[in-house]
Structure 1
């Protein structure tokens, strides 16, 4: 009996690319993981000397301190999975600063007919941008997500803006393909990135207001109706601020949320949970409040990258006529300048010749008159 040896590279490939987002991609050995080396693996990482976080059926999770950014515990933090509607956190964070919340919007037929969860938009100009953000973050409206994307200049522009915002946040596991989080090949996020995005969102007053609103009146063609927040912990967990939950059959359950107690806020994110996760999230939050300030963190939620000011390029200046080919726009100013100098020199020489001729003529005339006078005398 014998055992076939498999090259280590093949094993790594099998683990990393077992299927499209079926498992976590291990961090590249040449690229340190964002947030610290301990977050590179797929297993549980926790501080020494404390009990492990409560059990959860989620494939990956992160527990972090909002104030300090410290990651208190994690499992498979950078595993890349389908995010479902938790991606709407990135949609809101990207578009809130770009859109006037008092602007009136008439949703398109395309927006109204989006599949999946919807708030029930009609193609009528009765909605404010503010209403659409509430529908997005409270009722998880895929129709509201598309209406907001179209208001921002279209789907392509919005996806570009969302992915640029993810890069600014250093949420490098996140690739947005839809504004709603509806499954699409290539779309991904991670528990670490969801915590990063939520932390940034909590710093925006409008984002914080939308996620924490339990119920609200929503416009309709004839009258308002009431919508409610899908985050069940807003009613069940003490100090819950909210954020976002999601579910699709491919992504399974996903959640990112934050709660505040005694002036401190804990963020919990989970991905790829097979079923009912609300009680497990509450237990993870409890563990975070008990551990914060008392343990050595296992990682860090990094700060966003600084916004780069646009670089202004000076107009090119040629140093000599040879600096640009003959006939180009760069050569013409120099040639024109040389021609002007030549013309000026010619004019100066001509003026000197004319002036000299006049002087000679006057002298010769004077000489002739004097001779005539002498001859007459």
Structure 2
């Protein structure tokens, strides 16, 4: 009896699932479907990814970079664009993109002593209610204030809530290489990003008027217990490169140099992001911007900066392919495989869901029938 039930159940399951497959549209039958590398399959490359028909992009000591057209999203050239590296203070762009829409820039903030004591670059906060969110955003993006990053996190409800929202925002932007462990970008185990993701995040930031204003400000007055003092933007290209909009640079001893920036010329904007640069990258970035303007409209794109996920869509990051090795994270780790989205299926309604539910119910009944027979037999022995 038990054998017969198992055979019947298996046959019923196969018949039911075959029926579901026959009633399912071709696109759904192919699921679960894993899309290619975010931005295009060419961007899975580890080395230089250069377009044909134009001269090669300038050389750089950066381990990873992306040059892209901000308007079209076209990636014009890249090097290990999805390699995972420590982002250092370029991660503050994600902090800003996440919190600017959520915080009232006129809100008064009293930083904690812990926030004021944060290590690394700082604007010099004191634990007094003399700062507006607007002031702290300037300090975050102009002078890379780690103390300001923590104070903003406190204003948003604390570190846990802020990091959760930062990582949620990264997923919304399809920045699947990015994991935030701090709002400041200070090195932490498991924290990472990629040149591709930094370009995505910067592009999203430039669409926010406040973000654009903060990153392009050269000097500003900053509150002090007795008046104000002047702060200056750390982005040297704001002072050197014609048309420079700004964005963010970063450095730690493990991450080395990182940068994401944008410049406009003749009504067009080019974004450049670099990671894990061993030297002084300012001149290299200027040359990469020049190359981007020259190649724009002439080079065949090697990929694209994808748009954010629509609000109602469901995208799940999935690790696909073998782990890549050799693209070093600062500190001796290696680059991880790119995260890629998995297409979602709405199986909660419609004839497919109904057939699955009926099949599951009937199969469950058969299992319980067999279980009851076995129990009665066991009672007789």
1:31 shift after superposition:
5.8
Q: CA deviation at 1:32?
A: 1.8
Of 258, 263, 270, 1:259 maps to: 263
Q: CA RMSD in A?
A: 1.5
Q: Distance in 1 between matches of 2:85 and 2:53?
A: 31
Q: Does 1:285 align with 2:289?
A: yes
Q: Secondary structure at the match of 1:207?
A: helix
Aligned equivalent of 2:127, options 123, 136, 159? 123
| Cα shift at 1:308 | 2.6
Secondary structure, aligned partner of 2:248: strand
Question: Of the candidates 243, 247, 257, which is equivalent to residue 243 of structure 1?
Answer: 247
Following TM superposition, the consecutive aligned residue runs of length 4 or more in structure 1 with deviations greater than 6 angstroms are none
TM-score, normalization: structure 1? 0.74
Structure 1: distance between partners of 2:59 and 2:176 = 27
Please list every run of 5 or more consecutive structure 1 residues that lacks an aligned counterpart in the other structure.
Answer: 1-29, 314-377
Corresponding residue for 1:59? 63
3-state SS of paired residue (1:60): strand
Q: Which residue of 2 aligns with 1:163?
A: 167
Contact 2:54–2:298 (8 Å) recurs in 1: no
2:147 and 2:311 map into 1 onto residues whose CA distance is 31
Tell me which of the two structures has the higher relative contact order, counting C-alpha pairs closer than 8 angstroms and 6 or more residues apart. Answer: 2
Who is 1:320 aligned against? none
Matched, 1:203 2:221: no
Tell whether the 8 Å contact from 2:49 to 2:78 is kept in structure 1 after alignment: yes
In 1: Cα distance, 2:215 partner to 2:79 partner:
26
Answer yes or no: is 1:73 the counterpart of 2:39: no
| Corresponding residue for residue 136 of structure 1 | 140
1:148-159 mapped onto 2 (5 Å cutoff)? 148-159=152-163
Distance (whole Å) between structure 2 residues aligned to residue 168 and residue 67 of structure 1: 19
> 2:41 maps to which residue?
37
* Alignment deviations for residues 13-47 of structure 1 (CA, whole Å, 9 cap, x no partner): xxxxxxxxxxxxxxxxx762100000001111111
Quick check: which has more Rg, 1 or 2? Answer: 1
Q: Secondary structure at the match of 2:144?
A: coil
Question: In the TM superposition, what whole-angstrom CA distance separates every residue of 1:32-81 from its partner, at most 9, and x where no partner exists?
Answer: 21000000011111111211100000000000000000000000000000
Match of 1:96? 100
Partner of residue 326, structure 1: none
Look up the match of 1:85: 89
Measured in 2, the distance between the counterparts of 1:56 and 1:273 equals 8
Aligned to 1:230: 234
Structural mapping, 1:208-223, within 5 Å: 208-223=212-227
Any stretches of 5+ residues in structure 2 without a counterpart? 1-33, 315-347, 349-381
Matched residue pairs, number?
Answer: 283
CA distance in 1, matches of 2:205, 2:313: 23
**What is the aligned partner in structure 2 of residue 145 from structure 1?**
149
How far does residue 106 in structure 1 lie from its aligned partner after superposition? 0.6
Q: Distance in 2 between matches of 1:308 and 1:155?
A: 27
Deviation at 1:309, TM superposition (A): 9.0
Given candidates 299, 305, 312, the residue that maps to 1:308 is 312
